[in-house]
Structure 1
């Protein structure tokens, strides 16, 4: 045990000194009054009143000294005393186990129980307080400064390559374990429902039309290659001998079809594309459909490619280097953007009641869940820690905290006892005079 822990606190020393002085004064007054009663018999009635007051003060001080002392230790030492007296000394050390259990239960019932946590969080709008704190420019600057100083040190300590391998192994494994067909289905649904596909299709048709018009030689080369792949090139070349340019007619037909699709938003081919998209949405929503299985197999095959894995690792390393280099600059763009983002988050939290309500519900659910899972462990830790305390250490801790007030009770015992003794002495004197 440290000397600082063993040394009594100034408040405790002062209270002990005052209690000792008060008791000593009561004893000295009692002795002096007994002597005065012998020397001044004509004032015996008054001296007996004062003597009773001194006796009562002395008894009160001694009784309170005994009551306070037995809380912490045995005032009789090794003296042979009756068992019923010995069993009611050293009350705190003897009941250390019960105190530990009671303190643990008190913390659980008043601070850590799910009901208390939930009720406390319902009364406090934590997200509003957090939003106001983040919206303060000084606070979000502090947060960004901490991040700006800490992240480069983390990169140096861990190493970009290790971070890259960690992200690669964990992210790749997570993606492998995730079926992406549902995600693809919902993304495609969002595209179709918001008519994004029409904009993409219109832009694609514009590009295709312009490319075919301005690159006729490349278009002819492409159609020639396509005819060869389809096995009709010889037939098309033979038709050209009799004046029929099948290749150019095919190109002109394609350009005409593209132009008609550009001009007509309700073109049958556009509808077919939408129908194909709707059909694909339904197929991707089914885990066992052929489209879903092909998509997930393609995803797994892509992630098994060493080229893809090396690309991911290299990209992470390059990104870490870039972020680190930027954060080390006094005018870091990343830090500036981070401050702006933090302030915007705080302002949005303050202004958006629905977001705050959602965050509070989530925080409350998490806190209640954690309190339910870990409150018993916290209580067990508190109880075990108190059990591990040395009895003398525990007594010193408690006495240093509350001993000052307890020893002031001794002073009160002397004063109150003397006052009661004085009242009783006056009453007795009045009775004797009356009789």
Structure 2
């Protein structure tokens, strides 16, 4: 059963119990008054009980009145003094003030930058995320959501009008974007972090390994290269006198690669870095020949219907392949994605430096967000409360807390009766002593 239905049922039970308690004590009070007339010889103890019942009636009615005026005017259209009328319907009359007060409370206690910073300082958010992602049940749930959502996204963007809209906007964005600046910044990042050296080292390793392990394919490749250069007949002629220029060329190239692998300061490496740095500087200048050629080549590709059709077709084929795989029960993409998410979680757990960096970034973003948007969030909450219909608001508040409020009426009857009984006993004792 939903929470709203449970609260509504609780409210009805509390109202019914409170009404029964008040009616019962009123009937008991009337019964005791009649009994005092019928049995005057026992009037002294009946008076004690009657005082208890009277106090119970007063307590029950007082609490009923106090709870009722919170939400509505119990007097209706009766002519009553202003000081009574002005203190009824307390919640509806003060809806605006309540909205502003709730907004300030949320802002001061939850969304202020100081509170956010203090709260995040006590929490290793990255560790919590890592632990959550590393749990198989959680990362499986994430992958399941992706499996259910991604095909729908592909279906949506695959519609002819949407696909055409995305393509046109993408082409327009690329046409208006000067690629030289992006390429220059990319080269700057590569050079500053020595990524090019890592790529070059790995590439040379692969070439060296392939040439050593595949001598026949290497000779065939060099043969074709020498033919293209027009020197194959010369090489073949030298072989007739016992000079294998082809193998010497291969051995020389392997030796050069090994030298470059062993020497990070090799002149060829330096030439590659110098050339990359020169390109970076030229690309930073939009009027340089390199920048103009890059942008012209980009525009030529965008002006080619064949190229655009090829790219669009490739994207459609790729998206369809991903969608079909995700729809399968034993999806390879989903399995790899789940393994990657779990690995990410485990890496976060064990890498403290990365966690600290992420926590700092998260904290900074959260503080910035709370400082910039907390006022807008609070204003939105206040406006929504202002827009609530008074009857709807009263019904919702009553549904949430009305059950406990009406139990106060029961407590008023019981506590009032007990106090009346105590006062009656005290009065009887004093009468007996005096």
User: 292, 305, 318: which one pairs with 2:300?
Assistant: 305
Q: How does 1:19-98 map to 2 (within 5 A)?
A: 19-98=18-97
Partner of 1:121: 120
TM-score (norm 1): 0.76
Secondary structure at 1:326 match in 2 = helix
CA contact (8 A) 1:181 1:296 kept: no
Match of 1:218 in 2: 227
1:142-198 CA distances to partner (integer Å, 9 max, x unpaired)?
333433343333222221872872795387366737432242244354434887399
Encode CA deviations 1:53-88: one digit per residue, 9 max, x unaligned: 222221111111111111111111111111111101
Structure number, greater radius of gyration? 1
Distance 1:122 1:432, change over 3 A: same
DSSP-derived class of the 2:182 partner:
coil
Q: After the TM superposition, which parts of structure 1 deviate over 6 Å for at least 4 consecutive aligned residues?
A: 4-8, 204-207, 209-213, 287-292
Distance of 2:49 and 2:221 partners within structure 1: 124
CA distance, structure 2, for counterparts of residue 158 and residue 194 of structure 1: 36
Taking the TM superposition and a 5 Å limit, the aligned residue runs for 1:15-414 are 15-159=14-158, 162=163, 165=167, 168-169=170-171, 172=174, 176=179, 178-188=181-191, 189-192=194-197, 196=201, 199=204, 214=223, 218=227, 221=230, 259=252, 262=255, 265=259, 272-280=267-275, 282-284=277-279, 286=281, 293-306=288-301, 307=304, 309-414=308-413
1:152 touches 1:324 (CA, 8 Å); kept in 2?
Answer: yes
CA-atom RMSD in angstroms: 4.2
**Which stretch has the larger CA shift, 127-136 or 341-350?**
127-136
Alpha-carbon distance between aligned partners in 1 of 2:55 and 2:410, rounded to the nearest angstrom:
13
Per the alignment, residue 242 of structure 2 pairs with none
Q: Aligned to 1:184, what secondary structure does the other structure show?
A: helix
Please state how far the C-alpha of 1:106 moved relative to its aligned partner.
Answer: 2.2
Match of 1:304, SS?
helix
Aligned length: 402
Gaps of 5+ in 1: 225-251
Go from structure 1 to structure 2 and tell me whether the alpha carbon gap of 1:202 and 1:37 turns closer, same or farther (over 3 Å shift): closer
Task: State TM-score, norm by structure 2.
Answer: 0.76
Residue 331 and residue 124 in structure 1: after superposition, are their counterparts in 2 closer, same or farther (change >3 A)? same
1:203-231 CA-to-partner distances (Å, cap 9, x unmatched) read 59999x9689856973773699xxxxxxx
